[in-house]
Structure 1
Amino acid sequence: MAEGFLIDKAFSLLFDAIKGIKDKNVRFKPILNKLSLRLKHMQSMIIEIQQLNRGLDVPESETSEFKSAMEKGAELVRKCSQVRWYNICKKCQYTGELVELDETLRLLFQTLNVQLARDVKRNSQQIKENLPESSSDGSNQISTVVPFNLPPLPSLVVGLDGPLKELKETLLTNEASFLVVTAPGGCGKTVLALKFCHDSQVKEKFKNNIFFVSLSKSPPSLSLLVQQLYKLKGNGVPDIPNEETALDFLENLLTQQEPNSTLWVLDDIWPESEPLVEKLVLQIPPEHKILVTSRSELLRLGQSYHLNPLNDKDAMTLFRHLASLEDGKYQIPDHIVQKIVGYYKFFPLALEIVAGSLRRQPAEVWEGRLRKCLDGSSALGSESNILSSLQSNLHELKFIIKECFMDLGLFPEHQRIPAASLIDMWTELYELEEDGDALLLLYNLTTRNLANLFVTRKDVTEVDDYYSEHFVTQHDLLRELAIYESSHEPQVNGERCEEPVEQRKRLILDLKGDEHPKWCKEHKKRSVSLACFQRNENTKEPFSAHLLSISTDENFSSNWLDMQLPEAKVLVLNFRTKDYALPKFVKNMKKLRVLIVTNYSFFPAELRKFKYLRSLKDLKRIRLERISILSLSKTRVPLKKLRKLSLFMCSIGKAFSKRSISRLLPNLREMNVNFCDDLVELPASIFNIIHLKKLSITHCTKLAAIPEEIGKLVNLEELRLTCCVSLLALPDSIKNLSKLASLDISDCISIRNLPEEIGELRSLRKFNMKNCSRLKDLPPSVSGLKQLTDLKCDEEIKERWEDYLPSITNIVRLAKDDPT
């Protein structure tokens, strides 16, 4: 920070010196005007590079050359101001030195452009690699992702200063190298571990060598765990075929660490994962520190630290903050607040959920909650009690909000859930009019602290319908509750029974290898009996599920069950293998509307059997993540009803070079391509999809050009090209997009000019061109953008807009105002 301040100071010194004399000293005015203009161009780039460097942990010494040149330049300008009119020799000498200064600044400006391109690419890559993992803290927060592997802390943390001190005494000052923090679910174990990792003394000791990994009830393989560690270290993820190779890679990783400099945090360890942790511990030298969180003591692993419940004061502070009692809008009697807090205080997660349900509610609602507390025991004292209490809280939700909460259980534990997946599901499943309605449902869940929302883009203050960089996480205890609610019948006479699998609305399968749950065998027996009774060997007992989620591990061989799902509208497939095939029963899911396929391994996977989709006439949305879409390009039968296709971190290559996308997807309305690193050029056939209304291509760092054929998309309303850092220009044919209302070229740092006739975009209302550092001039035709109501740009380009649109002040938002 100090280095950045000195650069700013040196820049201001030179800029102010030039400004002070350029109009007073006519002898040097031409060259000083040139220097002044160059400095204006450099200023925003220096600021942006410093911001990126701080986020990327790049040494700010890289900018020391700029600082030195500006300080020397300021001294030179000061000398110029003292030259007398008759001193021709000094005038010639200093004019030559000012020309040399201008040349130095020109070269530095080129260096800035290269460095900015590098930093934006690296920032894009780190956003991609560090998309939020679940922090399991149960707190409601909308936040940006920090470019490190540590999840962020909640907005308010109370009651953990004492435990933090004890952890530091054990792991930093004593010889102990291993510690298990244990407490029931929802008590704040993960928050304590994060607070320990974010502590300044801990950061000073371990620096960037802090590994924070969340496991789950179903333990991953050692190979997968070691790959995760390599990812966190930023060394590139190796291909690890077996456990023996994993141990070799782990040993190699350990040799790269300095002694006493690595902290390993293994979050949410279950007894099932104990053997895996033991293998890891045996490989890690004793001078390294290991912190584990678990609901169980894990006596085989070593020393335990029991996290105590919050005291009354801390519980009250947390609750009042989460319930927004400080705003004074509703005056809730203190005795009601105290009794409610006293009931839930042992479990911070319960406090958060209840606070979210009572926030800004009238006193009558609080009194109703208190009556329910008094009807129960004196206080929540066990994990089963907290689940029962949270269940009663769920029953107070509106039907659709509760349904959305249960839908979160379709995604794997400790994995971020793309908001785009949820919105695709909810819009189609609940027949909403538009995606924005589904986004409101998501906000409703987060305000009730039933989920956490993270935004990975830099400008989180932008309010629009773009949510491809929004992600949701959820406390594992809440996920368990969502799955429990999905698998049990409504309460009858105070009791709840497990609902038969065939009758459940949500069917959630978590397969280990090729092992199927017990109910699969029972279902198969019933199907055989039914077939014998009806004398038809093809008769199978159908499932009633409207939503089906299947999660498989790295040992799954695509050995699918034979299932009948005639009512299913949403299919969510989560896997970890390099090669994956769609299940054959998909072709009989005649009502399927949404398909979401997510590869949770570290490399794009081939998706086979895409042909099964050709008979699905109601399929409207497909979202693929880390998939090689060569498989999609091989599909021969058009998906005529498909309206939206989203490709996230997919391997595209030349998938569509030999096949027309317009024939495959003739009625596509929206296409999203995000973080696809190998996308170099867009196939021209995309622009034959004349019904396309939204086209979003973001963080595709190798995309260099947009074909002129884009002018054929006469129905296009939104075009987003965010952070395509190699994109050199917009095609001239963009002028033909007469319905285009929103254009976003932010962070496209290689674009130098706008199309001469861009003013023909008469419907353009929103234009985001922030951080387009090489774009300096505007074509005169921009004066024709009469409908423009929202412009986002940098300071230096704002002045040029004012030349063409006198009212620009009312619609412009400067990029320098973005939060960083």
Structure 2
Amino acid sequence: MDDGGSVLTVVEDEFEIHQIVKRCGGFPLALQVVARSLCGLPVEIWKSRLLEWSEGQSILESGAGLLDCLQSSLASLKDKLKECFMDLGSFPEDKKIPVTALIDMWAELYKPDKNGVHAISRLIELSLQSLLNLVVTRKGATEVEGCYDDAFVLQHDLLRELAIRQSSQEPMEERKRLILDFSGNELPDWWTEEKQPCIRARLLSISTDEMFSSSWCDMQVPEVEVLILNFQTRENNYTLPEFMKRMDKLKVLVLTNYGFSIPELTNFSVLGSLSSLKRIRLERVSIPALCNTMVELKNLEKITLVMCKINQAFNSSAIQMPVMLPNLKEINIDSCNDLVGLPEWLCDLVQLRKLSISNCHKPSTLPEGMGRLGNLEVLRLHACTKLLGLPDSIGGLHKLTVLDITGCLRMTKLPKQMGKLCSLRKLYMRRCSGLRELPPSIMDLKQLEKVICDTETAELWEEHHFTNLKIDDTVDLDWLR
């Protein structure tokens, strides 16, 4: 009987080990600290600890010393790195955090950031401290300077919990960031009370699930500069909260739909009250016809649209876009599958410095008026697979330094006026297999330093005997991932 009891104990121990590994989520530091705390103790202690966790107690509160260990790692960080780490708690657990969203947030919260250099540096430092994972899903896409569309941050649930915990140490009125995560319509008592606490947070994050009714209560958040709305919905629309109208200091709006359907944004007109708004990032939503809202965003500098339905907004003929967006400097459109073509009014945004259209597979032509974008410095047409060519008017882009036509499979030729791009330094043109010749005017590209292309296209350039030109025809297999 003794032998049988010993065998049973071993089997139970193995079961408890598997359960503890599961509860730690495979997080190496959690496994190490929890294992150290349980080593040599009777199996009943192990079971008791597992029972506490199953009843909702956090591993961080288990008494194993994990919280102290993690807080010690956090305490060793520089102040700005620590703030960046805690900002990551603003996004839902188990979701990729786009690097481009973090660049927008941190550029306004901490310091202006040209091409995201400071943001990337901070992410790398946090990664080296094992406080996040920095992932590039397609490395070839990041070779364009300042382009991080395919870069994401992944953070373990325990680290996200630590970030939220650290952000919530102070009284609500004194917090730098307020992170709200709602289940259904269960709102905190303070939000529904007539007299709300005076909230001074600079960052506000609100996450709602598909059971949320979109019936927003009023809220006084006059100091918020970054608003992050994470949501799921079963409805055909998602209503922007009315309290946004009074967010006079709001500079950045990041709105992400994590549901399966793509709802239309309603109450879009509240954006017209936000005189400080500089950056908007929308993901997986349908944007209403802008001519029906006529929202003027006088200070908006950057707009990013990812996997959105935008055709009805872009094809509104009555739009006076230069009036609505007089200071827009950057447009990023990625994977918007209903985009049939770019509207002519786009060419009237004369302050535009960067235009990026990627993974949009329906446009076959660009507006003839592209040459009017005299301040454009970066033109990215990445993986626009049906694009047949560039308009001749592109020769008017005298400030253009970077042109990316990678993955434009059907492009058969470059425009005759190509040589007038007198500031062009870098040309990215991998996977342009349809190109058979280059226009003679390319010999006038005196500032061109580098061409990134495939071997076949490299042969076309070598025929023209450029001096001091670096041609990179390294085989790129990242697009197959």
The reply to whether TM is greater than 0.5 is: yes
Matches within 5 A, 1:334-349: 346=36
Identify the structure with the greater helix proportion: 1
Which of residues 470, 475, 480 is equivalent to 1:811?
Answer: 470
Letter in 2 for 1:468: D
Match of 2:93 in 1: 413
The higher relative CO (CA closer than 8 Å, separation ≥ 6) is in: 1
Letter in 2 for 1:649: M
Please give the TM-score of this superposition, normalised by the length of structure 2: 0.86
Match of 2:392 in 1: 732
Change (3 A) 1:420 1:774: same
Which of residues 335, 343, 357 is equivalent to 1:697?
Answer: 357
Rg comparison, structure with higher value? 1
Offset of residue 805 of structure 1? 3.5
Offset of residue 517 of structure 1? 2.0
Q: How far apart in 2 are the matches of 1:671 and 1:556?
A: 31
On the 8 A contact 2:142/2:148 being kept in 1, the answer is no
Q: Which residues of structure 2 form unaligned runs of 5+? A: 1-10, 38-59
Offset of residue 439 of structure 1? 2.2
Q: How far apart in 2 are the matches of 1:507 and 1:625?
A: 22
Offset of residue 382 of structure 1? 5.2
Change (3 A) 1:384 1:669: farther
Letter in 2 for 1:398: K
Change (3 A) 1:188 1:545: closer
Match of 2:271 in 1: 613
Match of 2:222 in 1: 566
Matches within 5 A, 1:709-728: 709-728=369-388
Match of 1:516 in 2: 187
Q: How far apart in 2 are the matches of 1:648 and 1:383?
A: 43
Letter in 1 for 2:295: V
Aligned to 1:598, the other structure's residue is in SS state strand
Change (3 A) 1:604 1:180: farther
Aligned to 2:407, the other structure's residue is in SS state coil
User: Are 2:134 and 1:453 equivalent residues in the alignment?
Assistant: yes
On the 8 A contact 1:607/1:629 being kept in 2, the answer is yes
Match of 2:302 in 1: 644
Match of 1:534 in 2: none
Match of 1:156 in 2: none
Offset of residue 807 of structure 1? 2.6
Q: How far apart in 1 are the matches of 2:297 and 2:455?
A: 46
On the 8 A contact 1:674/1:700 being kept in 2, the answer is yes
Change (3 A) 1:812 1:818: farther
Q: How far apart in 1 are the matches of 2:467 and 2:213?
A: 63
Match of 1:486 in 2: 167
Which of residues 147, 158, 177 is equivalent to 1:466?
Answer: 147
Q: Which moved more, 1:451-460 or 1:645-654?
A: 451-460
Which of residues 67, 72, 77 is equivalent to 1:397?
Answer: 77
Offset of residue 597 of structure 1? 0.6
User: Are 2:337 and 1:677 equivalent residues in the alignment?
Assistant: yes
Change (3 A) 1:730 1:407: same
Q: How far apart in 2 are the matches of 1:555 and 1:792?
A: 49
Q: How far apart in 2 are the matches of 1:685 and 1:179?
A: 64
On the 8 A contact 2:191/2:219 being kept in 1, the answer is no
Q: How far apart in 1 are the matches of 2:394 and 2:384?
A: 17
User: Are 2:210 and 1:554 equivalent residues in the alignment?
Assistant: yes
Q: How far apart in 2 are the matches of 1:461 and 1:744?
A: 12
Aligned to 1:459, the other structure's residue is in SS state helix
Aligned to 1:807, the other structure's residue is in SS state coil
Aligned to 1:477, the other structure's residue is in SS state helix
Q: How far apart in 2 are the matches of 1:567 and 1:510?
A: 20
Structure 1 stretches of 4+ with a deviation exceeding 4 A read: 178-181, 184-188, 343-347, 380-384, 817-820
Change (3 A) 1:410 1:185: farther
Change (3 A) 1:429 1:554: same
User: Are 2:337 and 1:500 equivalent residues in the alignment?
Assistant: no
Per-residue CA distance 1:682-715 (angstroms, 9 max, x = gap): 0111110000000000000111111111111000
Per-residue CA distance 1:308-331 (angstroms, 9 max, x = gap): x67xxxxxxxxxxxxxxxxxxxxx
Change (3 A) 1:384 1:612: farther
User: Are 2:259 and 1:422 equivalent residues in the alignment?
Assistant: no
Matches within 5 A, 1:140-159: none
Matches within 5 A, 1:102-113: none
Q: How far apart in 1 are the matches of 2:61 and 2:204?
A: 35
Q: Which residues of structure 1 form unaligned runs of 5+? A: 1-165, 171-177, 192-294, 296-308, 311-342, 348-379, 489-498, 528-539
On the 8 A contact 1:186/1:477 being kept in 2, the answer is no
Offset of residue 561 of structure 1? 2.0
Change (3 A) 1:185 1:634: farther
On the 8 A contact 2:142/2:149 being kept in 1, the answer is no
Aligned to 1:444, the other structure's residue is in SS state helix
On the 8 A contact 1:606/1:631 being kept in 2, the answer is no
Matches within 5 A, 1:43-58: none
On the 8 A contact 1:346/1:381 being kept in 2, the answer is no
Q: How far apart in 2 are the matches of 1:562 and 1:607?
A: 19
Q: How far apart in 2 are the matches of 1:575 and 1:767?
A: 39
Letter in 2 for 1:545: A
Match of 1:762 in 2: 422
Offset of residue 773 of structure 1? 0.7
Per-residue CA distance 1:139-180 (angstroms, 9 max, x = gap): xxxxxxxxxxxxxxxxxxxxxxxxxxx9xxx9xxxxxxx999
Identity of aligned residues (%): 49
Q: How far apart in 1 are the matches of 2:210 and 2:363?
A: 32
Q: How far apart in 1 are the matches of 2:97 and 2:118?
A: 18
Match of 1:794 in 2: 454
Offset of residue 671 of structure 1? 0.3
On the 8 A contact 1:452/1:472 being kept in 2, the answer is yes
Please give the TM-score of this superposition, normalised by the length of structure 1: 0.51
Offset of residue 788 of structure 1? 1.0
Letter in 1 for 2:358: T
Q: How far apart in 1 are the matches of 2:473 and 2:215?
A: 55
Letter in 2 for 1:626: R
Matches within 5 A, 1:204-219: none
Change (3 A) 1:566 1:641: same
User: Are 2:157 and 1:476 equivalent residues in the alignment?
Assistant: yes
Aligned to 1:414, the other structure's residue is in SS state coil
